[in-house]
């Protein structure tokens, strides 16, 4: 049978790297037929991926939309994990897939990696209040569109563009909106996410864990291994020509549980004390203004959105398709120990530590790495 050509962006990131490992190690016959092309920024990264059977191509970045469109036109599927805030590159790859479909008359697929920041509220500033749990069986597209009309948000704007461009170009799109992701990744490069490790780094600097306000707001969550497993599961369903919701109905939440921010801070404090990284299990309560100044150089909106908002989701579509998460990976508190060890072992501090300027940049650009 013919190979299935897949283009992956973000292979050096936390999510993309873990997905790549999952696909390369898969025992599913349909997944074994996939030949992966990954775009990376450095030759050293490309060389390492080539050693693992990946066709790695060095490019200048997501701004090179001409190259991305050309590469997409040579592939049957694209998994976009590089950035949730870069509409031009997403559109270019969808248009490239449309050209591929026209040339081959075969189905093409675009899997877009987004986050549930697109449905998050801003409760402390009372800018927007919404702490209900959203099901992906509801009309998520219309909800996102309404939120955009009330106030544009770059990640959500890209989500809308992906769906709309796919419909216009007759390309099946699948938008995976992930909540807080925890656990150590399995990729060859970045192995840590943003939110929980950031709380750990901030705690080490302050010598105790911290939280904004009472930490009562709630986010859904998922372990990175469960998330990678769902990507593999969804891809296998798509490639097996099963009836998989796409387009406006193909917006998936990828959660397995939920937490309050206080629960995260307490888990960080407990893990830090156990590992000797913190002298106490104390959790300091900061005002939004204090946290923004200490953590991200004063950016109130992104501090509240990333570390104090409500973002509750329910993965009903995944369950209807037959996906079953691995139960042993559902405990965030247990995973904090593993993550804290990884944070403590970081050696390239200039690259890895989320400084005030760096964390604001990463959160605002929707980086997974």
At residue 251, does pLDDT exceed 70? yes
HSE of 355 in the Cβ direction (CA atoms, 13 Å)? 5
| More confident: 227 or 362 | 227
pLDDT at 358: 55
Mean pLDDT of 171-200: 97
DSSP string, 37-78: EEEES-HHHHHHHHHTT-EEEE-S-TT-HHHHHHHHTT-SEE
At residue 254, does pLDDT exceed 50? yes
Token pair for 15: 């999510």
Q: Percentage of the chain surpassing pLDDT 70?
A: 93
pLDDT digits (tens, 9 = 90+) for 195-209: 999 999 999 999 999
pLDDT at 325: 96
For 129, phi then psi, to 5°, come to -120, 125
Q: How far is CA 363 from the centre of its chain?
A: 11
pLDDT at 368: 44
DSSP string, 132-185: SEEETTS-HHHHHHHHHHHS--HHHHHHHHHHHHHHHHT-EEEEEEE-EEES--
pLDDT at 353: 46
At residue 262, does pLDDT exceed 50? yes
Mean pLDDT of 236-248: 97
Sign of CA dihedral 353, 231, 55, 172: negative
pLDDT at 359: 54
Interatomic CA distance for residues 269 and 280, integer angstroms = 7
pLDDT digits (tens, 9 = 90+) for 96-148: 999 999 999 999 999 999 999 999 999 999 989 998 999 999 999 999 999 99
pLDDT at 350: 44
Interatomic CA distance for residues 328 and 256, integer angstroms = 11
pLDDT at 352: 44
Confidence class of residue 366 from pLDDT cuts 50, 70 and 90? very low
At residue 347, does pLDDT exceed 80? no
Mean pLDDT of 337-353: 73
Interatomic CA distance for residues 71 and 39, integer angstroms = 9
Lowest mean pLDDT among 261-265, 296-300, 315-319: 296-300
pLDDT digits (tens, 9 = 90+) for 161-176: 999 999 999 999 999 9
Q: Percentage of the chain surpassing pLDDT 90?
A: 89
pLDDT digits (tens, 9 = 90+) for 301-330: 999 999 999 999 999 999 999 999 998 888
Listed residue (187, 169, 159) closest to 251, CA to CA = 159
- Domain 4-365 has what CATH class? alpha beta
pLDDT at 356: 44
Question: Taking all residues of the chain, what is their mean pLDDT, rounded to a whole number?
Answer: 93
Mean pLDDT of 184-205: 96
Mean pLDDT of 41-56: 98
């Amino acid at each position: 049978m013919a190979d299935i050509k897949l283009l992956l962006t973000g292979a050096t990131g936390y999510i993309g790297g873990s997905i790549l490992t999952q696909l390369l190690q898969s025992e599913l016959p349909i997944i074994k037929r996939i030949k992966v092309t990954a775009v990376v920024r450095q030759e050293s990264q490309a060389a390492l991926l080539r050693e693992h059977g990946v066709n790695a191509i060095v490019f200048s970045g997501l701004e090179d939309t001409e190259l991305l469109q050309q590469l997409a036109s040579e592939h049957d599927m694209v998994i976009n994990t590089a950035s949730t805030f870069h509409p031009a590159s997403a559109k270019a790859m969808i248009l490239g897939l449309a050209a591929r479909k026209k040339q081959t008359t075969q189905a093409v697929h675009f899997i877009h990696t987004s986050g549930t920041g697109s449905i998050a509220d801003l409760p402390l500033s009372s800018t927007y209040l919404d702490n209900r749990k959203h099901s992906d069986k509801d009309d998520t597209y219309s909800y996102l569109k309404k939120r955009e009309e009330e106030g544009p948000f770059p990640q959500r704007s890209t989500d809308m563009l992906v769906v709309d461009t796919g419909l216009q170009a007759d390309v099946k799109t699948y938008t995976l909106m992930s909540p807080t992701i925890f656990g150590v990744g399995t990729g060859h490069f970045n192995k840590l996410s943003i939110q929980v490790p950031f709380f750990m780094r901030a705690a080490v600097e302050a010598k105790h864990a911290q939280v904004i306000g009472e930490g009562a707001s709630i986010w859904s969550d998922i372990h990175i291994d469960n998330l990678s497993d769902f990507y593999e599961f969804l891809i296998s369903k798509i490639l097996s020509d099963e009836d998989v919701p796409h387009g406006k109905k193909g917006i998936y939440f990828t959660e397995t549980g939920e937490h309050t921010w206080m629960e995260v801070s307490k888990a960080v404090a407990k893990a830090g004390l156990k590992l000797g990284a913190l002298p106490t299990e104390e959790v300091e309560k900061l005002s939004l203004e204090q946290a923004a100044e200490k953590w991200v150089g004063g950016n109130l909106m992104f501090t509240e959105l990333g570390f104090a908002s409500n973002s509750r989701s329910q993965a009903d579509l995944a369950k209807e398709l037959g996906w079953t998460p691995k139960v042993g990976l559902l405990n965030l508190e247990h995973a904090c120990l593993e993550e804290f060890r990884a944070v403590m072992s970081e050696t390239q501090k200039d690259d890895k530590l989320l400084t005030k300027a760096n964390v604001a940049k990463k959160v605002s650009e929707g980086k997974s790495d």
